[in-house]
Chain A
Amino acid sequence: MTEIGVVLNSALALSMIWLLIYFGYRQYRLDKFRHELFELRNELFLYAVDGGISFKNSAYRMLRDRINAQIRFAHFITLTRAVLFANMHRRQPLPRAEQIAASWSAARQGLDDDARKKMDSITERVTRTVTYHLVTGAAPLAVLVGVMGILVKVAKLFHRTEESTTLRVAKELNIELLEEQAIAAQQQERELCEIVV
């Protein structure tokens, strides 16, 4: 009879841990991730308020939309999705991805040096934030990236490179693809709204 007590005790403790992880910690991570993106969006807005870029500029609008898309679809940024999409993208690129990348590149070219630097800095931090969220959300990936980080640091001793480990990971995991998918979904919805209106 003591065994049944031990089993029930363990089950109760496991249930509490389960509740904490799936209804507490996971929600907290999502809120924290969105908060960091909101801060970047706010930084972009304040830069425009200070006259660094016009609110009507296509680069401003695109970057704001990009951040908005990440905030909105943050709950879809998972390791499973990243791996499946990256694998699929190698065989069959997402139709809108190239178009989105080309429009961003064109909009960026039209900016003055200061604005371009600012836009690049915010874009880079968005990618870093998305990558960090993705990596820390999956234990196996976190371990893998930890090992990769050490290897990159060792490689940096021999080859001088400015690229950070996070950005390297972002490139390997094709984070841009997840971002572009979110933007495409947002654009499609907007077009659908325009048709209905």
Chain B
Amino acid sequence: MRRIEGFIQFLWDFVVGDDWRIAAGVVVALGVTALVADTSLATWWIMPVAVLALLGASVWHAARSR
């Protein structure tokens, strides 16, 4: 059981890293892009805007805690 927990923890650290908000934000941004893509609106700008906002928020959060 401890090995499974250890493996899950390793996977979490490997994929999600030390700021889970980045992973959550990326999933939400991809979901919003997919939803808007079903309409006639342009969607290409959603990911870049979301990515830069996520980067800024994550860097700001890390900088404030140091």
* Binding partners A and B: no
